[in-house]
Amino acid sequence: MQKLIVNGGKTLRGELSLQGCKNSALPIMAASLLCGEECVLNNCPELTDIYSASRILNGLGSRCRFSDNTAVIDSQNISKTEIPENLMREMRSSIIFMGAILGRTGECTVSIPGGCELGPRPIDMHLAAMKKMGVDIRESYGKIICRVPFGKAHGAKISLPFPSVGATENIILCAVTADGETVINNAAREPEICDLCGFLRACGAEISGDGESRIVIKGQNRLHGCVYAIMPDRIACATYLSMVAATGGEIVLKNVCVAETEPFVSVLEQTGCSIYTYDDRIYLRSGSRLKAVKDRIRTMPHPGFPTDAQAVLMSALVTANGTSVFEENIFDCRYRHTDALVKMGADIQVLGKIAVIKGVPQLHGANVEATDLRGGAAMVSAALSAEGTAEISGISHIDRGYEKIEEAVRHLGGDIRRV
């Protein structure tokens, strides 16, 4: 099992080009199944979750290969419609293939997906929406067997009880080649939804309203291939900004989609960091000790503060001057990283969805274990600002979402190595 060894206390400085976005690359890879032609995805991050998606595609009969952050996917010939349980368990996004396989073939067999353990992560909204679009769903010995009686799903009006990102993606994927029009009310508005729709439009789909709460999809007979660039990763952006802020450093982040980072950046600015944006760049300078954030930081669906940035911002606020309060509203169990931060000397009290962080002057390196992707990144960030050496195990979680994290941090002057 690999570990990251971090000798903390170095100020991070420099320029970094941001990786492509995991959470839009994954549904876009699934979407490529709908195209009878080759798709070329540029700016595709090379991550273990992306390799899992590639294994799913190859298992279905597509051909997916990577080089230099470009994925070339040829889904002309699909020979299977079942995703084996071991591949379903590798990540949450495996469930997004359901809508795409159904859209392409009219049948599919999946099972409950894996992914980070952040509390219960049901798929009831996904299944209810598929049923509304005419899909028969039967569960048998852990398998979810889906079939569209006449080979093609039909459009439907679907009102989601919560703007679920995954359910919105699955509905879009099933609807783009369905008969008639689909309307999603209370749809997720995350930028990754817009990126998926941007890709699908480039393949000939008719979709409007993405980025808003009401998305309308007009079903097409078929989609074609395209060349598309995956958007930059706004959560990796939040992570590197938090790390640099925590170490009192300075950074120019390049290849950023600046508008999409606003919900995070507007909170980070309250810590006293100077932040300027221009074109596709963000400049951050963090001088002396950070200030605590006065208002409660409430995670909310986009355009609220992103739940995926909660842990990494917390890693910077544990040494801020004063008390900050988080309220986690998306997942029931997304404070699992706090035990590790406390072991490093942080003062954090968690009660249900609330976490109260009383800033301490200094953290100390310790042996900790990453519990999930963003929590693991928060541990790296805390270790970089701590004095002494930290050993972080469980880093396969981190590798699911950060491309060569140790190289990025070393590039900024951090002392980190993988053993």
Q: Are 390 and 6 in contact (CB under 8 A)?
A: yes
**Strands of 288-412, DSSP E:** 297-298, 323-327, 347-351, 354-358, 367-369, 389-393
User: Pick from 33, 373, 380, 409: which binds ligand EPU (CB under 6 A)?
Assistant: 373
Report how many residues bind ligand EPU under the rule CB under 6 A: 25
Between 118 and 293, name the residue whose CB sits nearer to ligand EPU.
118
Tell which one of 401, 402, 405, 408 touches ligand EPU (CB under 6 A): 401
Q: d(Cα 168, Cα 189) in Å, to the nearest integer? A: 9
The CA distances from residue 41 to 100, 284, 292, in Å, are 17, 30, 40
Is there binding between residue 264 and ligand EPU (CB under 6 A)? no
Instruction: Read off φ and ψ for residue 239, nearest 5 degrees.
Output: -65, -50
Among 81, 109, 164, 319, binds ligand EPU (CB under 6 A): 164
Q: Is 26 in the site for ligand EPU (CB under 6 A)?
A: yes
- Asked if 374 is part of the footprint of ligand EPU (rule: CB under 6 A), the reply reads yes
Q: Which is nearer to ligand EPU, 4 or 273 (CB)?
A: 4
Task: Calculate ∠ Cα 179-180-186, nearest 5°.
Answer: 115
The CB-of-120 to ligand EPU minimum distance in angstroms stands at 6
In angstroms, the Cα distances linking 323 to 200, 296, 356, 359 are 45, 10, 7, 6
Q: Is 215 in the site for ligand EPU (CB under 6 A)?
A: no
Residue 123 binding ligand EPU, by CB under 6 A = yes
SS3 137: strand
Catalytic member of 21, 35, 44, 116? 116
CB 39 within 8 A of CB 73: yes
299 lies in the binding site for ligand EPU (CB under 6 A):
no
**In whole angstroms, what is the distance from residue 162 CA to residue 152 CA?**
26
Q: What angle do CA 120, 165, 89 make, to 5 degrees?
A: 50
Distance of closest approach, residue 235 Cβ to ligand EPU, in angstroms: 6
Structure tokens at 313: 């911002």
Binding range to ligand EPU, per CB under 6 A, among 123-131, 272-280, 351-359, 403-411:
123-131
Identify the three-state secondary structure at position 66.
Answer: strand
Q: Which residues pair with 140 in a beta bridge?
A: 143
Q: Which of 111, 220, 261, 307 binds ligand EPU (CB under 6 A)?
A: 307
Please give the helix or strand (H or E) that residue 139 lies within, else none.
strand 136-140
116 noted as active-site residue: yes
93, 119, 244 from 114: Cα distances, Å: 8, 12, 32
Nearer CB in complex with ligand EPU: 10/121: 121
Task: Name residues contacting ligand EPU, limited to 59-118 (CB under 6 A).
Answer: 92-93, 116
Is residue 315 at the binding interface for ligand EPU, with CB under 6 A as the rule? no
Tell me the closest approach of the beta carbon of residue 183 to ligand EPU, in angstroms. 18
Q: How far is the CB of 297 from ligand EPU (least distance, A)?
A: 15
Q: Which residue in 16, 28, 41, 125 binds ligand EPU (CB under 6 A)?
A: 125
Residue 276 sits in the site that holds ligand EPU (CB under 6 A): no
Counting contacts by CB under 6 A, is residue 308 touching ligand EPU? yes
Single out the residue of 167, 200, 346, 412 in contact with ligand EPU (rule: CB under 6 A).
Answer: 167
Cross-strand pairs, 324: 357
- The answer to whether residues 49 and 20 touch, using CB atoms and an 8 Å cutoff, is no
Residues that bind ligand EPU (CB under 6 A): 23, 26, 92-93, 116, 120-126, 162, 164-167, 188, 307-308, 330-331, 373-374, 401
Residues catalogued as catalytic:
116
